[in-house]
Structure 1
Amino acid sequence: MPAQQPPAIHVEGLEKSYKDLTVLRGVDFEVERGSIFALLGSNGAGKTTVVKILSTLLKADAGTARVNGFDVSTQAADVRESISLTGQFAAVDEILSGRENLILVARLRRLDAPEKIADELLERFSLTDTGSRRVSTYSGGMRRRLDIAMSLMGDPPVIFLDEPTTGLDPEARIEVWEGVKQLAKRGTTVLLTTQYLEEAEQLADRISILHEGRIIVNGTLAELRQLLPPAKVEYVEKQPTLEDVFFAVINNGKNDAAKVSSVGTTNKEQ
């Protein structure tokens, strides 16, 4: 039998303090290759600190961490070649257009056909119509989608997404979710930090909850649900959520527009 591959990410005993403030108090977890791992926690729990250590932007005070088989402390250059990071704020060049941003990153990664790659990512993230505009004219949601598209350039084996859908509208958020799922299907390992519980529920193969610098629970969604008492079966009238209303309204609007367009075409033919 072939030897089992080591996990894409291995974290053991990670500790970090800033003067008198202790942020991480011995964090342990593993992320299997090709899986989506969600790190949940409230503001100040230490999620971003974990990501910064794993992406070699910050040194831990104690503990060990390996990404794609490389030690983040002693093999930082190898780790950086293996990862892509999308932080909480969009890191895009506002002077360039969206397409030029993507082409620039493709060339920096020495990828073939950078223009083709840029056009494919613009289409994937619904930015084709605005690809030639300067990023300084983009809305916050558009910048975020462009930033995530840039992070997917070159299909790195490990991707860190630090609260990737903050500021996105519901449609854009679902587009990002689908993109993340497709990445995992192609074998990319995704570590996702989020405050949106629904996001973790939709995407993650495994979920860890980070609280006051420690992992207090780790498992699949089914395993985490077993921590609570069994659900009682009761009749409850289910009201549509705001998300249900939102998509019903915009989909009806699209259908109405399609009907008008169809009628207009028919009248011209007559």
Structure 2
Amino acid sequence: MLDKTQDAKKAVLYRMVMESHTCPYGLKAKDLLKRSGYVVEDRHLTTREATDAFKAEHGVATTPQVFIGGVRVGGYDDLRRYLGKPVADPKATTYRPVIVLFALTALTAMAASYAVSGSPFTLRAAEWFIAFSMVVLALLKLQNVESFATMFLNYDLLAKRWVPYSYIYPYAEGLAGLLMVAGALNWLSVPVALFIGTIGAASVFKAVYLDRRELKCACVGGASNVPLGFISLTENLMMIAMALWMAAASLGYIGTHAM
């Protein structure tokens, strides 16, 4: 057990600082120590040889390394634990990516609406919110379409029967979203959004609510830790709702709107 009272506000930090590389975790450790009230003795490891010698001397595999009261605390994550701060688990499930995405697309839609009409609270803003969300979701999937396709094949009903659909899906979603932003070619965007949204909603509902499977959602790309469930279903229901709304507007069943 480390003695936190001994030299409690003094720390020695060993970190890599070279011409071609400055360790980002070393910078984060130094900042965290200073913000926590420590006086930091900042010792630079300026060559690979010096770094390797330091690791061998102390029997560690990585740098930076923090010492407090003459006792090694460890690296950046170890320092956070020592100071009683949470350490992120890269494998933990989280809704943060989709929350941030929908929040920013909603604000972007409101900003665009304000620029066009002088008010952020318009019907066009609601339409743009869904369309912008589709475009950004497609962008995230297309960053690594192979990774997305692999995760998508775990649950999508059509992709399981026809693998190329797992590669087509993000392009179709992006195309439909862009056309909806522009209010152009409704005859194309409406059926595309309705088709992929309906298949997606049915797939998620079956996997999560009927089969009770615990899966990760491919909605924000294949590397996400977002659990498959309500958020995934919402993405598809939004596309369906938007497609039906635009179809009704095009056929004159509802009043004309900004699109």
Query: Normalising by structure 2, what TM-score?
Result: 0.21
The structure with the greater share of residues assigned to helix is 2
Structure with more strand by fraction: 1
Q: If you compute each CA radius of gyration, which structure gives the higher value, 1 or 2?
A: 2
| TM-score normalised according to structure 1 size | 0.20
Greater relative contact order (Cα < 8 A, sep 6+): 1
